[in-house]
Each structure stands twice: as C-alpha cells, then as structure tokens.
C-alpha cells in the first residue's frame, strides 16, 4: 500500500518506508502501542526493548532527530490524533497517535519535541515531566549516502 502521493509505502510489517528521506518509521507510535504517556528516559528504554526484540527484522531503531520528525509534518495531509483532533501527518500512519514526538536532541534536562498539530514546530520539554510525551521510532536513512532531504536543509 502506498500513500496517495507515493511518498510512503506500508511494508506490511509494522513499518512505513519514506521514499523522500529513505527513513523507515514505525507505523504505530508509543501511545498506540501502550496507551500511555512516556517521559524521554522511558522512551529510551522502550527503544532498547524494541531493538532487543529485533522489531521488523532490525535492531537499530531510535528516536528521530528534530529534522527527521519535522519531515513527517505536512499541512496538506490530515490524520487524527488520540483525541480525534487534526494532526498533519500522512493518513498511511494509523489514526489515534500522539500529536507530537520526542526527538534525540537533548540539552541538559530537556529534549526537543516536534508537534504535528496546528502549525507544527519544535520546542523543548523537560525529559521527565514533559506533557506532550509521545514518540514514533525511526531507522535509517537506508542509503549509505546522505539523503537529498538532509543535504537540502
């Protein structure tokens, strides 16, 4: 199954491949898998657990960089978050996800969160008490070359 613009491909194993960035995304985010919020440290532990289980045949899953997470935001694509509110990620991803994702970028007690609501954007949240505590894991880019997406930013 491909997205309407052919950018995303559902690999039918819980993974969505992004042809634009050469990244592989988990189709479900943590909220959809566990039905609860999670702080940044617990997100790290969950990531290790997913890698230990070799999810979808891979053990290199990680939190996205802010740039990678922002690449999912698209105001021309509509989806629904866990509360039934609009978020702007392709509907190839399952409905009912969190409206933001933790990223790998951290600074002291905070980490960057990228929002998929409204106008999107990124902001810092406390790694323990952050309230927009959702995440979607990624791996890649699949190519050894830096993808055009990263080069053009």
Quote the tokens at residue 87: 């978020």
Residues written for the chain? 153
What pLDDT, in 10s, does the model give residues 45-56? 999 999 999 999
| Percent of residues, the chain, with pLDDT higher than 70 | 92
What pLDDT, in 10s, does the model give residues 130-153? 876 799 999 998 654 444 444 444
Three-class SS state of 137: coil
What pLDDT, in 10s, does the model give residues 84-127? 999 999 999 999 999 999 999 999 999 999 999 999 999 999 99
């Amino acid at each position: 199954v491909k997205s309407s613009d052919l950018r995303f491909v559902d690999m039918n194993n819980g993974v969505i491949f992004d042809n634009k960035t050469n990244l592989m995304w988990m189709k479900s985010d943590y909220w959809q898998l566990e039905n609860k919020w999670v702080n940044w440290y617990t997100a790290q532990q969950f990531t290790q657990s997913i890698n230990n289980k070799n999810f979808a045949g891979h053990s290199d899953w990680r939190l996205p960089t802010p740039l990678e997470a922002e690449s999912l935001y698209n105001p021309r694509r509509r989806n629904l978050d866990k509360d039934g509110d609009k978020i702007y990620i392709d509907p190839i991803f399952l409905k009912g996800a969190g409206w933001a994702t933790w990223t790998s970028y951290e600074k002291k007690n905070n980490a960057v969160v990228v929002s998929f609501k409204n106008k999107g954007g990124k902001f810092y949240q406390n790694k323990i008490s952050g309230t927009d505590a959702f995440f979607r894991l990624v791996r890649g880019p699949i190519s050894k070359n830096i993808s055009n997406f990263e080069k053009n930013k």
